[in-house]
Amino acid sequence: MCERPLIAVISGSLQPDGLTHRIARAVETIAADRLNIRHVPIGHLPLYNPALEADGASVPVWTTFREAVAPADGVLFVTPEYNRSVPAALKNAVDVGSRPYGASVFSSKPAGIISQSPGALGGFGANHHLRQSLVFLDMPAMQQPEMYLGHSSALFGEEGELVEGQGKTLLETFVAAFAVWVDRHPVRQG
């Protein structure tokens, strides 16, 4: 019998009841049989500044964040778009996890990206800016299905539940593909 792979989910919004986190939780439900989801918080991380780790100093919450991501078999980013790019909080998590040089916790982990917006565009700008960072981070990025969830508030019903419809179907297809992607990209050891 086979263990489900551990997936670190990093949500680019700091609003726990916002659409981004609701999508992240919906993914957890959809993926329950296949993926072991770990939501990793990022809102409390100080802005990345290499000087804070100079001369052997450490920033405990950065360390804790890295330790939460390190054992994962893959990373799923779920994000809104701010100013046509990734929110600062998400970029900060990327910067913190990627340092110090040579000790990135992201290296070689397979990645999936879901972007969302209340408007029509579905966070396209955030989605692809993040992809450019993933190149440097050496994270094999799943290409298809792309997931730009526009009009994202329509995904949920009055009780906050994911409603039946195209959005739910897209997420199910995405999760199934991501499980295969993670399986095909085992993390490089040591």
Binding stretches for a second copy (CB under 8 A): 14-15, 43, 45, 47-51, 82-89, 91-92, 94-95, 98, 120-122, 124-125, 128-129, 131-141, 143-144, 146, 148, 150, 184-185
Q: Which is nearer to a second copy, 27 or 141 (CB)?
A: 141
CB of 125 to a second copy, least distance (A): 6
CB of 21 to a second copy, least distance (A): 12
Bridge partners, 116 (sequence order): 149
Tell me how far, at minimum, the Cβ of 29 lies from a second copy, in Å: 24
* CB of 73 or CB of 133, closer to a second copy: 133
Nearer to a second copy among residue 2 and residue 54 (C-beta): 54
Nearer to a second copy, 36 or 146 (CB): 146
Taking the complex as a whole, the smallest distance from the CB of residue 68 to a second copy amounts, in Å, to: 18
